[in-house]
Chain A
């Protein structure tokens, strides 16, 4: 192995060791990057980089879509849209085997059209759906696993913070990426639905079915329950239509979405000072966390670049990496392993400079690559030992469900993910047909 490759491996080990010591991910990445710069070029060069990178990372028009998407999701959440969605989905789907889990899944997909963050969607749906499922005697693993997994749909269905980050750092059209996420998001939701129904059909004790009389009651309320969710349909149509038609950019979509969400909340008489304050505060702290990690990750990846890691990896696997199938298998393994230990943004920024040149070399469609990478990163939010969506669900349910139970519940959904990934990899057009038609 070349020295650069060793530097890459050793520095990644150092980052993971610092993260394990409870040091914030941003700082772990940043400090190893800083030490690396110092080691390669001296402390002055390291300082020069630290002087530039934070401002460059913050003052970025492309990334401005992130706070706007988060604001839109927060306002939609705080105006109670998630409860309305779950209520409507419950009335429509609870007749199916595992009906409440199916409803949770569909409601999460719909909430994904207002929210751009997978962890936020998992948090929201945990509060709304898990108590309801447990009340009806659902298996704890199924209830919590379903919420954690369905949260990832928010990162695929526009808006999506991950696609914005991917677009900015990979220099690919954000608008096209957002549109590209629609079909894979629906495919994932469909795969989850099939999985839930099949499992509950085979093992009925997982999800006790509703009595027939109760089901008849639910049917009567179905149409009325759709009334409170019309605002979301407006948001969805506005967002996807506007992006697809090229009327606005992603940032403008986020800003307009947030504005529209405020107007909708006002018409439903849910607009209050407290609600705005809470939404804005959530937005500000979440964006701050993301930018801080982005800064650390950029420092670290600049150091990897300086160390020549990209070229080194290229040299090692260059020969067989020219085979697209082998490349995608190698990338899959790397993403699955990193996904077990790192946060989404860290994985994205660390792997981009390594994999992007290789995918370019085999002329892979950059939009398709973006969808595959974001899918893997989302799967990384579900895999143990470090799975942020699972942690989030755990933090909401407290002691009532153990972490092991949630991971076991999520395990079943990973089977669905296997088939979804297979389809997305074998048929790139699932990801590219919509953006190519723009």
Chain B
């Protein structure tokens, strides 16, 4: 059961990471093309800044969150806990995961709320090429944080299972 869920979540996490990677390259090419167009042909690609700001950046900031969480790659300080016995360390990890989940659930929840609201009002921004719709970008944020929540729940379940297993081994 856990394995099937993990596999399904992994697919989604990988998909978002791939999209973020593609966006990263696309942004480098798009911004470079704009620069070359402006510097050599006096013909910049209009709207580059706005698209980069409201789409590429949003994708780069939020889509990788789930994959970083899966790798347990968010920046932490282990100095005060590294030397704890294994079981205590697992307990601390589980607690840290739980607190993180609490925070991220709130961010994801408000993110989804904002996305629904901005979709209803068809949010736009003014750009050099007229009005650019940006309400879609709100969903990128919501998706990134929502999937991060799912990964955190999985991490937490795995931590608790490991903790129980360590407890059983310890009592035998």
Q: Which residues of A contact B (CB under 8 A)?
A: 18-27, 30-31, 34, 47, 50-52, 54-55, 57-61, 63-64, 67-68, 71, 247-248, 251-252, 254-256, 258-259, 276-277, 280-281, 283-285, 287-289, 291-293, 295, 343, 385-386
Contacts and interface: CB of A to CB of B under 8 A. Distances in A.
Contact of A285 (B29, B61, B71, B134): B71
Contacts of A276: 25
A58 to B, nearest CB: 3
A386 B110 contact: no
Q: Which 10 A-B pairs rank lowest in CB-CB distance, beginning with the nearest?
A: A58-B61, A288-B64, A255-B31, A24-B74, A51-B110, A291-B61, A280-B21, A20-B80, A61-B53, A259-B32
Nearest to B114: A51
Interface of B: 17, 20-21, 24-25, 27-32, 34-35, 39, 49, 52-54, 56-58, 60-65, 67-68, 71, 73-81, 92-93, 95-96, 99-100, 102-104, 106-107, 110-111, 113-114, 134, 137-138, 141, 145
Contact of A58 (B62, B67, B81, B114): B62
A409 B58 CA distance: 41
Contacts, number: 181
B61 A68 contact: no
A27 B141 CA distance: 17
Given A18-B99, A21-B95, A31-B102, A284 B73 contact: no
Contact of B35 (A50, A255, A289): A255
Chain A interface SS verdict (over half): helix
B21 A281 contact: yes
A274 to B, nearest CB: 13
B53 A27 contact: no
Given A64-B56, A287-B60, A343-B75, A47 B102 contact: no
Contacts of A291: 60-62
B81 A63 contact: no
A247 B35 CA distance: 9
A288 B58 contact: no
A50 B79 contact: no
Given A51-B111, A55-B58, 9 more contacts: A19-B76, A20-B80, A22-B92, A25-B77, A54-B61, A55-B137, A58-B60, A67-B24, A283-B24
A258 B49 contact: no
